[in-house]
Structure 1
Amino acid sequence: MTARTTRLDDGVRSALRTLSATAKKGFGDPVLAELVQIRASQLNHCAFCLDLHLAIARGQGVDERRLDLLDAWEEAGDVFDERERAALALTEAVTVLTEGFVPDEVYEEAARHFGDTELAHLVALITVINSWNRLMAGRRIPPGSTEW
């Protein structure tokens, strides 16, 4: 696979990197942040972002079993705790927007596990990884590419 284009405005790249870093820092849970970004990237079929965030998660010491089962987190039993499950459900709801909005019960469950500030940063993190996914998958940037 070859990229359709590797051209990306430096201002766009810089703004998204800043937004990503700010959302991750404000969220405050780097491991869960990576799981969220991986899950959104799975849903969006973004090979570039999957490759990148799986490597980051492995570097943080995330257990391979958790990474292997992330795509089936709802069926994975106690592999993911309630807080992680709430974040992953919110990730799916924001990413897919099947009903045209995030269902109240999904948002309320996330709000039970995260304070207002954490939740705001989690939604921002999900939003920005979806933007990255669309930029990379839309241009077909291959995994591991250094030109994008």
Structure 2
Amino acid sequence: MTTTTDTTTDTTTDSARLNFYKLAPGVYQPLLNAHLAAKKGLGDDVLAELVLIRASQINHCAFCLDMHVKDAQKAGVSEERIHLLNAWEEAGAHYSAKEQAALALTEAVTVLTEGFVPDAVYERAAAHFDERELAHLISLITTINMWNRINVAVRQPIGGGA
């Protein structure tokens, strides 16, 4: 007997599979605190939002994309830079060397295709960020990946509160 699994997803729902954040407040609040501390420690809202959007693009997290695109717009990021972010390497002239280094690190930490962050990517970021900034950048990338994974797993709806 052959069984098939329907792998189609219904992403049109207005409610999450479960209210993760209400059910796991001991996870939510520390994650939020870590995320906010990382963002504050980085000290550059535009750079932070670019990183948050890029990780959310990779992870296909519509909830976080919606939120961070709006936050990026509020921080003054142009529509053009937001739209080109998915192809930032080809659109390099639209991003500073520091932003490009942060985006490369974001991709390396988010995907871990080689099982680790390549030395060249880390060194590129280290050339633009002091150790304190780098620690906060890595923390921000790590927290957005956790948010993305939770929101994708529970199918947190766009515009729905956490």
Note if 1:4 corresponds to 2:17. Answer: yes
1:5, distance to aligned residue in structure 2 (A): 1.1
Q: State whether structure 2 residue 35 is matched by structure 1 residue 20.
A: yes
- CA displacement 1:36-89 (0-9 Å, x = unmatched): 000000000000000000011111111110000000000003100110000000
Structure 2 distance, partners of 1:108, 1:61, is 29
Runs of 4+ in 1 over 2 A off after TM superposition: none
Instruction: Provide the rounded CA distance (Å) in 2 between the counterparts of 1:52 and 1:133.
Output: 12
Number of residue pairs matched by the alignment: 147
User: Which structure exhibits the higher relative contact order, with contacts defined as CA atoms closer than 8 Å and separated by 6 or more residues?
Assistant: 1
Q: 2:145 aligns with which of 130, 133, 144?
A: 130
Encode CA deviations 1:11-37: one digit per residue, 9 max, x unaligned. Answer: 211111100110011111111001000
State which structure, 1 or 2, has the greater radius of gyration over its C-alpha atoms: 2
Which one of the candidate residues 81, 106, 113 is aligned to 1:91?
106
Return 5+ residue gaps in structure 2 as ranges.
1-11
Is the 2:20–2:154 Cα contact (8 Å) retained in structure 1? no
> How does the TM-score come out when normalised to structure 1?
0.97
Partner of 1:114: 129
Check the 8 A contact 2:92/2:100 in 1, yes or no. Answer: no
Larger CA deviation: 85-94 vs 4-13: 4-13
Q: Over aligned residue pairs, what C-alpha RMSD do you find?
A: 0.9
Select the structure that is richer in helix: 1
3-state SS of 2:20 partner: coil
Which TM-score applies when normalising by structure 2? 0.88
Q: Which amino acid aligns with 2:17?
A: R
Tell me, in whole angstroms, the C-alpha distance in 1 between the residues paired with 2:76 and 2:99. Answer: 16
Partner of 1:52: 67
Deviates more, 1:9-18 or 1:110-119: 9-18
Q: Which runs of 5+ in 1 are unaligned?
A: none
AA in 1 matched with 2:143: V
